[in-house]
């Protein structure tokens, strides 16, 4: 479910009118080094990049079609469901094996929600472009918009976590390089060798390397500048690719609103997922979970 909440006092600011931006700053505050968020005017400096990343994800996720009603009892009369699932039993298998569904379904029961909205992801069956395998659901919500917001939140959180993880890795690398340099200098001094040339290897993380400078010291101010630039590349964490989507026969909904054309979700998961928004009943999901014992499936954002 979407976890957006209005927050006051983040980074020393008052309540924001934009709950999505407030939630994004909550993610940043919980994830990155607190010395970054403790800098004066850090929110003002970060906000344009945060809004840019959220807008990118909103535009991308808007390209995912749906919602499509997923109901095993209507399978035989639904051209769309037959296009998505090779057999009706695959609907129950997908619901029961979804890790996201199994971990979140209790909330829908406790809060009396009869319908669940979610992203359905599938992989193209090898050697058969018209068929799909490994169906699974993620980004559960109480409405279509809630499900889309849940996916956006997951993408932004993953973007920030990637920055924090790589920053920690780079700091370890820089410490090792400084240690190696000191040892090498000492050995060369003992042996009377000429000083070594500066280390100039071009590492893959150009943002962090550039902001750390030649001395490889990422101060809070420099880390803030690196985070701003990192957030300006949201496509590194999630993209919705429409050019290689998969057209299916049949209308998206009973009212005949156009035909379904599903895009591909490209994210940190090496697997490529063909995606759409779905709606299914809570009783059907519960029944599927209770009868499924196979390994769980998930989509890594």
**Is 24 contained in some domain?**
yes
Contact 63, 263 (CB under 8 A): yes
Alpha carbon distance 160, 143 (integer Å): 26
Indicate the SS3 state at residue 141. strand
Say whether pLDDT at 169 is over 70: yes
Of 273, 261, 258, 278, whose CA–CA distance to 72 is shortest?
Answer: 278
Q: What is the pTM of this model?
A: 0.82
DSSP 199: P
Q: What is the domain range of residue 283?
A: 1-170+218-301
Indicate the SS3 state at residue 16. coil
**Is 288 contained in some domain?**
yes
> What is the pLDDT, as a whole number, of residue 125?
77
The average confidence (pLDDT) of the chain is: 82
Question: According to DSSP H, which parts of the chain are helical?
Answer: 19-31, 34-37, 42-62, 79-84, 89-97, 99-110, 144-191, 206-212, 220-231, 282-291
2 to 14, 99, 104, 222: CA distances (angstroms): 22, 17, 12, 32
Least confident of 32-46, 163-177, 202-216, 279-293: 202-216
What does DSSP say about strands 68-69 and 115-124: parallel, antiparallel, or unpaired? Answer: unpaired
**Is 202 contained in some domain?**
no
Cis, bond preceding 67 (omega within 30 deg of 0):
yes
Say whether pLDDT at 157 is over 50: yes
Tell me: the pLDDT tens digits for 279-297?
999 999 999 999 988 879 9
Say whether pLDDT at 208 is over 60: yes
Instruction: Give the pLDDT band of residue 218 (cuts 50, 70, 90).
Output: confident
**Is 295 contained in some domain?**
yes
**Is 93 contained in some domain?**
yes
Alpha carbon distance 229, 207 (integer Å): 7
Least confident of 13-22, 39-48, 57-66, 185-194: 185-194
Tell me the average pLDDT across 218-247.
87
> What is the pLDDT, as a whole number, of residue 253?
52
Cβ-based neighbour number of residue 174 at 10 Å: 17
Alpha carbon distance 47, 13 (integer Å): 12
What is the SS3 assignment for 231-260? HCCHHHCEEEEEEEEEEEEEECCCCCCCEE
| Measured distance between the N- and C-terminal CA atoms of the chain, rounded to whole angstroms | 15
pLDDT cut 90: percent of the chain above it = 58
Alpha carbon distance 72, 88 (integer Å): 6
> What is the pLDDT, as a whole number, of residue 38?
86
Task: Write b or e for each residue in 80-105: b if 16 or more Cβ atoms lie within 10 A of its Cβ, otherwise e.
Answer: bbbbbbeebebbbbbbbbbebbbebb
**Is 20 contained in some domain?**
yes
Total domains present in the chain: 1
**Is 139 contained in some domain?**
yes
Say whether pLDDT at 22 is over 50: yes
Contact 162, 237 (CB under 8 A): yes
- Alpha carbon 243 to its chain centroid, in Å, reads 20
Contact 103, 299 (CB under 8 A): no
**Is 180 contained in some domain?**
no
């Amino acid at each position: 479910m979407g976890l957006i909440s209005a927050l006051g006092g983040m980074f020393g600011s008052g309540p924001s009118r934009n709950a999505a931006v407030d939630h994004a700053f909550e993610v940043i505050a919980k994830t990155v080094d607190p010395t970054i968020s403790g800098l004066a005017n850090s929110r003002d400096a970060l906000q344009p990049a945060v809004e840019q990343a959220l807008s990118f994800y909103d535009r991308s996720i808007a390209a995912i079609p749906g919602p499509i009603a997923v109901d095993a009892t209507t399978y035989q009369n639904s051209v769309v469901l037959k296009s998505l699932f090779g057999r009706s039993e695959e609907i129950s298998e997908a619901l029961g094996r979804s890790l996201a569904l199994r971990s979140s379904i209790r909330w829908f029961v406790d809060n009396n929600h009869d319908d669940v909205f979610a992203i359905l992801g599938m992989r193209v069956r090898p050697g058969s472009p018209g068929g799909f395998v490994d169906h699974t659901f993620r980004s559960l919500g109480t409405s279509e918009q809630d499900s889309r917001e849940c996916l956006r939140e997951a993408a932004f959180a993953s973007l920030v976590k990637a920055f924090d993880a790589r920053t920690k890795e780079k700091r370890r690398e820089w410490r090792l390089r400084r240690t190696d340099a000191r040892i090498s200098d000492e050995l060369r001094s003992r042996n009377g060798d000429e000083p070594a040339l500066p280390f100039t290897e071009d590492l893959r993380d150009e943002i962090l390397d550039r902001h750390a400078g030649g001395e490889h010291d990422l101060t809070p101010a420099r880390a803030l500048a690196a985070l701003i630039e990192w957030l300006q590349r949201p496509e590194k964490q999630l993209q919705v690719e429409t050019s290689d989507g998969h057209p299916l026969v049949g209308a998206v909904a009973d009212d005949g609103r156009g035909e379904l054309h599903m895009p591909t979700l490209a994210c940190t998961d090496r697997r490529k997922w063909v995606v759409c928004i779905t709606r299914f009943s809570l009783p059907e999901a519960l029944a599927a979970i209770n009868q499924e014992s196979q390994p769980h499936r998930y989509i890594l954002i």
